[in-house]
Chain A
Amino acid sequence: MEPTDEFLAKAAATGDRESFSLLLTRSYDRLFGLCFRLTGTRADAEDLTQDICAALPAKLASYKRQARFSTWLYRVAVNAAHDRRRRQATRTRAADGWGDWEVNRVASNKETQDGIDWLTQAMSSLSPELRDTLALTLEDEMTHREAGEVLGVSEGTISWRMAEVKKHLRVMHEEEQKA
């Protein structure tokens, strides 16, 4: 029988190397997927994942078994993504990865309509809150309640935000049809 993530996390927090290794290997792809959805570019997603991996050993000390490990990890990821955005904003660099993507997309119009592109366009047009919410709920098996736990808002807020997202996508879809 496989040990649970939660068990591994506690063992890792108390210094068990193998547990940590197993836990991270198991979680890495999901973590990367979320980072990708949060940042919108592969390069940013890799940077963010690297930041999180680097800090995770120290972070684990604050993990409590009351929370599901995936919920906890996603919260770490969302917060790290916020920190990144804030840092980028304060350095007045190109503030928004999604926006850049959009600019590039328009520039090289030939590559349009492949899946990621559509996705990028869709997500870049959402506010940060909606984007985070969408990034989380697109995860398999992530309920609105869990997404709410990660973002520190109520289940109702998530449901409302998802309704907004759907409304937004529908409008976008209709405009595409017209064009």
Chain B
Amino acid sequence: MTDDLKHLKDAMRTATPDAPSKDAHLALAMKNFDDLQNSRQGSASEVRHTPDRPTILSRFTAGVFRMFHSLTTRGALAATTSITAIGIGVFLYTQQTDISFDLPKPSPVATEAVVENPLLQTRREPAAEVTPTDDTRMREDSALAQDKTYAEGAIALSEADGLAAENAPASPGLARKVAPAPIGGIVNGIVAYEAEEAVAPTEPNTETFANADANPVKITSDAPVSTFSIDVDTASYSVMRNSLMNGHLPNPESVRIEEMINYFPYDYPAPNADEVPFRPTVSVFPTPWNDATQLVHIGIQGQMPAIEDRPALNLVFLIDTSGSMETPNKLPLLIQSFRLMLSELNEDDEVSIVTYAGSAGQVLEPTRVKDKAKIMAALTRLSAGGSTAGQKGLQQAYAVAEEMRADGEISRIVLATDGDFNVGISNPDQLKDYISKKRDSGTYLSVLGFGRGNLDDATMQALAQNGNGTAAYIDTLSEAQKVLVDQLGGAMFPIANDVKIQVEFNPAQIAEYRLIGYETRALAREDFNNDKVDAGEIGAGHNVTAIYEITPVGSEAILNDALRYQPAPETGGNGELGFLKLRYKTPGEDVSQLLTTPITTGMGQVSDDIRFSAAIAGYGQLLSGGKYLQDWGYPALIDLANQTKGDDVYGYRSEAIKLMRLAKSLSAD
């Protein structure tokens, strides 16, 4: 046995590097080292073109980087993570809104990234200090001792380092995330500092995404019934945008097509007042990417109750103040976002703020929005940093929410985090259980994600789903505007709970079908009628869209051959393609109600809105593999999106088309 290993080891010795390539590699490393130093000192202003990146991207990053040079903030130079996210943020909102954004004050030179950030050191709480282990200290001592014999000039550096290294553990949240951050980065062989370190999210390794395999094509005669829960989250779209803006295609696992489709507002027919809370509209039309199939488009429009009639709102902001929230695209953006939202609230609404990790506890008792100055002051006082003290943040938030409850009011916890879910319960399953129990008490939970690198999308989704809430990812102030101002009603006021969709397809008409997206929302067939099974919520004014691709009997696009030993399904019948059933609960009730409608050929008006949603469905599939798209690609997608973008009052669709172009360029290599 050991002989085998020894044999292997000896064999390995024959693998010695080739002298010429070794020299080339060493030279390359030195060159990159020099480039890095130059760029840190701000003397290298041009971004090098790197062979692995398309030109458009290089230009893009160059622009962003130049912008930073002109801004010369410490945030730009010191925070090696998230630089572009900050840049884009600034860029977008200075263009689109007139709200200013507090960037950290400029500092002359900042070569070291995080450990030397004086903000962190000054805000560190003394109690939280963790001394380095003896082991570390010894190593540091010996290193210091060696300085003197090694190079006189370097001693100053090393002492500074020793200090920084001792300070570093004082914010373990930070140290944990930043410390040995190896993955990522080395994606593109030759990398410029500007192109790679500044632009790429530096630690995608700690990001987790909720995902399941794409829904397969189902044979109608085998499995005629499809059941799923609606989903009004939008996080996946923002994560996709953030990835593209940072110059790389999104991780296919982060793409949830239904969230991309549901990101956009559509103008579906609204329900009549005093009737059901929402109205489903079904349309059947040809598939853009396949001539031989059709799309069944189910558009649900939630009622928009008159604003003045809305119930009072009790909001508990549960805010992550761990050290990693320090960067400008996290806590400062969060504070700005909440400020925006305050202006949309009524005077009688109440707000309370609870923080966890770092400064912990209730920092603002329930306060009426009338007293805006007090809330603003509390928001402004929030600061990140310090230890991840395992405070019972979530329990406290629920307790506060219960305190604030009154008849006819809506209580909601808004959890804002960059992925640190150290909210007091560490076991994810326990956390879900806890939230599920609390859900029954009537308090809703929404999750807002900030920043990239540590984003725990999977947990975000799980919490929001279990807590009867929504998950959104906020990367810019304009996204905050969309989620917390323009669509505040949808985000805050539920009009229907546990909305489930079940479609039974008619095997006489439909040979095969496929649900596009909703992989993480699939329900078992029997769950549809079981009111104990949780599902998604619809908020005031929300749209929800679900799209099936169906293959008619006899179509050339049928993927599965008929079976030799099974009787062929009867054709003909009443001409219905299928039957749509929806279940929902009125908020506060335990018994669901049922809506039904048959699906027939060619039903429904095909508006631009509907075709645009189909374009986004295609886009999501392109980003996540595009197995069923045949030759249909970005050019056709961009054409379709351009034709159907309509008035686009908020500019969301134009932005989407820009992102499609970017994705097209990035996927070209």
A binding-site residues for B, Cβ under 8 Å:
1, 3-4, 6-7, 10-21, 24-25, 28-29, 32-33, 36-37, 42, 45-47, 49-59, 61-67, 72, 75-76, 78-80, 82-83, 87, 90, 115-116, 118-119, 122-123, 134, 138, 165-166, 169-170, 173
Contacts and interface: CB of A to CB of B under 8 A. Distances in A.
Nearest to A149: B180
B165 A64 contact: yes
Interface in B1-18: 1-2, 4-5, 7-12, 14-18
A62 B179 contact: yes
A53 B26 CA distance: 7
A138 B197 CA distance: 32
Interface stretch (B186-194, B235-243, B266-274, B473-481): B186-194
A10 B116 CA distance: 13
B335 interface: no
A28 B22 contact: yes
Output the residue of A11, A64, A87 with the most chain B CB within 10 A.
A64
Nearest to A11: B154
Nearest to A32: B17
Interface stretch (B66-74, B136-144, B308-316, B513-521): B136-144
A33 B15 contact: yes
B37 interface: yes
A14 B12 contact: no
Contacts of A170: 1, 4
Contacts of B211: none
The 8 closest A-B pairs by CB, nearest first: A115-B11, A119-B11, A53-B29, A57-B33, A55-B186, A169-B4, A32-B17, A79-B183
Contact of A54 (B14, B180, B189): B189
B25 A58 contact: no
B143 A79 contact: no
A61 B197 contact: yes
Contacts of A80: 182, 186
B626 interface: no
Output the residue of A62, A67, A138, A169 with the most chain B CB within 10 A.
A62
A32 B26 CA distance: 12
Given A47-B189, A115-B14, A166-B5, 5 more contacts: A3-B143, A10-B165, A19-B154, A66-B132, A138-B5
A66 B17 CA distance: 30
B650 interface: no
B139 A42 contact: no
Contacts of B16: 29, 32-33
A62 B178 CA distance: 6
A173 B7 CA distance: 11
B205 interface: yes
Output the residue of B15, B36, B40 with the most chain A CB within 10 A.
B15
Contacts of A20: 29-30, 33
B196 A55 contact: yes
A127 B572 CA distance: 53
Question: Which size bracket describes the interface of B in this complex?
Answer: 35 or more
A1 B147 CA distance: 10
B182 A14 contact: no
B349 interface: no
A40 to B, nearest CB: 10
B37 A54 contact: no
Contact of B161 (A36, A65, A116): A65
Contact of B11 (A10, A59, A65, A118): A118
B143 A75 contact: no
Given A14-B112, A19-B154, A119-B12, A65 B140 contact: yes
A10 B146 CA distance: 13
A172 to B, nearest CB: 8
A55 B175 CA distance: 21
A82 B185 CA distance: 12
A15 B37 CA distance: 6
Contact of A75 (B21, B161, B182): B182
A14 B161 contact: yes
A83 B182 CA distance: 11
Nearest to B35: A57
A15 B111 contact: yes
A24 B26 contact: yes
Output the residue of B11, B151, B169, B184 with the most chain A CB within 10 A.
B11
B183 A82 contact: yes
A133 to B, nearest CB: 12
B44 interface: no
Given A119-B8, A166-B1, A62 B181 contact: yes
A6 B143 contact: yes
Contacts of A1: 146, 149-150
A21 B37 CA distance: 14
7 contacts: A17-B30, A20-B30, A25-B26, A33-B12, A62-B182, A170-B4, A173-B4
A16 B157 contact: yes
A52 B25 CA distance: 9
A37 B157 CA distance: 36
Nearest to B17: A32
A54 B139 contact: no
B112 A61 contact: yes
Contacts of A29: 16-17
Contact of A65 (B151, B165, B181): B165
B45 interface: no
A58 B2 CA distance: 40
B146 A66 contact: no
Contacts of B33: 12, 17, 20, 56-57
A32 B13 CA distance: 11
A49 to B, nearest CB: 6
A51 B24 CA distance: 12
A4 B154 CA distance: 14
A142 B202 CA distance: 28
Contacts of B197: 58, 61
Contacts of A66: 132-133, 136, 165, 169, 179
A54 B193 CA distance: 10
B215 interface: no
B182 A21 contact: no
Output the residue of A1, A42, A52, A65 with the most chain B CB within 10 A.
A65
A50 B136 contact: no
Contact of B150 (A7, A49, A75): A7
Interface in B30-61: 30, 32-37, 40
Nearest to B2: A166
A60 B642 CA distance: 45
Nearest to A165: B5
A64 B179 contact: yes
Contact of B191 (A45, A55, A134, A173): A55
A4 B189 CA distance: 28
A59 to B, nearest CB: 6
